Chain A
């Protein structure tokens, strides 16, 4: 699919988990939309619905969203609201239902993230270093539930805009925000255990590490990104040597990076997006830039793979647009024919519909790398005439042609060479 869907909303979003994912959006805080309305709503969109302009379900919410996340069992949605509330919703039979609200963050709730291993554990963060850990099994039953805090931090941390649970260990998570540090927390040790900071070789200054995401399978590997516009870098660390990054992904973005997503199905794919309005696909292992997606009308503040359909990813930008597109969107002969007819268009025709023209700029592929879910390592057995069977050998580099003995079908001497 080229561009699967486009929703005209300035909103954060969360993917559901499943083969045919749906998307939930929450009106983004800190923006004034076209008609200056201050309403905020949570909306549910399904990719297969015929009319992409109307959500399947909508629920009014009393404050705007800074973040949204959906639990792995698709049962609970968590929202971080700019009035400091962490709100929980459910979606019985494709509708949206309010479940609970906790005004626990003093100023504004910045981000929420479900634990990768236990879907009843949720982390939320706010300003002044506030991080809360929620247990949904109890908080849904007790309106004056008080969330836990992860313990003491090494030094004062200001606003925390990025949280990420370790994908292998349920008790480890990372946080990052406006300070020059990214922190690694251990809930068992009840404190911040590792502190990541990076001084850029050019300026010698500590660069701001404001986004953090974990490797999908390796528990000691984590990626951070710099949100500031001066040398926006993505760094890949191995925590066993926390003072120098393993890999640097540079020159992909010209402005600060606002969002990262490490593909859960293929650790060699990482998405980033930011203030230069562009989305980039990287191979974080080799540091190579794979694809640059068409630039958007404004900052692209969130980009996420669909967890169980990673050929798709969604990205939200402040130009009132959430786009769902596929990793690949190659130039086809149909596009070439269209651009030929377009060049022969009269000038008046061209200027008449230039504004409504759906700009189908295609992504630039810098290096063609097939995601791991395409690599089908198997014997790929193929029958041929004369009862021959062609198989690829176990190491995948050779081929064997055999004639299997089939019980009940004795060899026919005439047939055999």
Chain B
């Protein structure tokens, strides 16, 4: 498994493998995005993308059915969309509806179309759809009073090509210590608040909706208060149950949470550079599931 040293000359904030595990995108405070080809142990830098005017916080690959497309968000308040066509990368769209840092960007489940969800320190969240004729129809809503730090789509439970009346949800985490679950209605282009989940006592730094479609849906939220909370509920219940991942606090601020694509293993990233893995036992308690050696 490769290790790429000195990929950037300033802090890297996000690194994401594409669907096939062949391409790695990294973004950094040096205002560039780098695309690497990775194969077994070796790696090759294929492109450096400039265009953002501030540190770039996150990147996200679109589903391959839309082409080789990457979204990036930055402190400059913009979401840029990049596309590779016959070997050449170019910026194909700018989404600039936010008046402050855009802290997270994520493509919707591909069944919904080419849709992205952006969360910004201007307190708003925006959903924008890239239609075939290139027009974008952004829906912008006020989500958290002082700023939104992260937003994550719920997985689509609809079978491939099924009718699309199934409710589309996403979760947001804010600088008001709150976690909110929203319903997005693509016909009426509207977003309504479904639940407000209280529990954290400091900034919610990341929220992650588990992509595994199980009997229960799971949301992991991590915060500046050094705790991780797992919110879960079955489709039929209306109340989310709240479980602290572990009772004592983590040694440092927890910055990111990521669910494995199968097996529902949760990876937490702490400010102490530690990555811890967790899985649910049969009684619904969460236990460590291996360690990542640095």
A residues touching B (Cβ–Cβ < 8 Å)? 1-2, 19-20, 47-48, 309, 311-312, 326-334, 368, 370, 374-394, 396-409, 417
Contact = CB atoms under 8 A, between A and B. Distances in A.
B96 A311 contact: no
B24 A399 contact: yes
Which DSSP category, helix, strand, loop or mixed, fits chain B's interface? loop
B255 interface: yes
B100 A381 contact: no
A385 B64 CA distance: 14
Given A309-B146, A374-B55, A406-B290, A326 B13 contact: no
Nearest to B14: A380
A329 B100 contact: yes
A171 B1 CA distance: 56
Given A311-B146, A380-B256, A393-B5, A401 B101 contact: no
B32 interface: no
Contacts of B16: 382, 384, 390
A312 B21 contact: no
Contact of B177 (A19, A326, A382, A393): A19
A383 B269 contact: no
Given A19-B176, A381-B269, A385-B261, A404 B121 contact: no
B13 A380 contact: yes
7 contacts: A376-B57, A379-B292, A383-B260, A389-B275, A390-B17, A397-B5, A398-B7
B17 A401 contact: yes
Contacts of B96: 330, 332-333
B24 A390 contact: yes
Nearest to B103: A374
Contact of B145 (A1, A384, A392): A1
Contacts of B8: 397
A2 B140 CA distance: 14
Contacts of B103: 374
A378 B255 contact: yes
B135 interface: no
Given A311-B175, A383-B265, 9 more contacts: A2-B99, A328-B121, A380-B269, A381-B275, A385-B17, A390-B17, A393-B5, A398-B4, A406-B290
B11 A377 contact: yes
A326 B270 CA distance: 28
A385 B19 contact: yes
B77 A332 contact: yes
Nearest to A47: B145
Task: Identify the interface centre among A329, A376, A383, A399: most chain B CB within 10 Å of its CB.
Answer: A399
Nearest to A391: B275
Contacts of A406: 263, 265, 277, 279, 289-290
Interface of B: 1-17, 19-21, 24, 26, 29, 38, 40, 53-55, 57, 75-77, 96-101, 103, 121-123, 145-147, 175-177, 202-203, 205, 253, 255-256, 258-261, 263, 265, 267-271, 273-275, 277, 279, 289-294
Nearest to B263: A409
Given A374-B55, A381-B269, A401 B38 contact: yes
B121 A326 contact: yes
Contacts of A377: 11, 255, 271
B17 to A, nearest CB: 4
A352 to B, nearest CB: 27
Task: Identify the interface centre among B6, B97, B100, B270: most chain A CB within 10 Å of its CB.
Answer: B100
Contacts of B17: 382, 384-385, 388, 390, 401
Contacts of B256: 376, 378-382
A370 B29 contact: yes
B55 A380 contact: no
A382 B258 contact: yes
A40 B134 CA distance: 58
A57 to B, nearest CB: 20
B227 to A, nearest CB: 15
Contact of A328 (B12, B101, B273): B101
**CB-CB nearest 4 A-B residue pairs:** A378-B255, A384-B17, A328-B100, A330-B77
A326 B147 CA distance: 10
B48 to A, nearest CB: 15
Contacts of B265: 383, 406
B292 A399 contact: no
A183 B263 CA distance: 64
A16 to B, nearest CB: 14
B14 A382 contact: yes
A378 B273 contact: yes
A332 to B, nearest CB: 5
Contacts of A402: 1, 292-293
A389 B145 contact: no
Contacts of B259: 383
Contacts of A374: 55, 57, 75, 101, 103
A334 B271 CA distance: 37
A392 B15 contact: yes
B267 A383 contact: yes
Contacts of B122: 1-2, 326, 328
A263 to B, nearest CB: 15
A370 B205 contact: no
B128 to A, nearest CB: 11
B4 A399 contact: yes
B24 A378 contact: no
A370 to B, nearest CB: 4
Contacts of B268: 381
A22 B53 CA distance: 33
Contacts of A393: 3, 5, 294
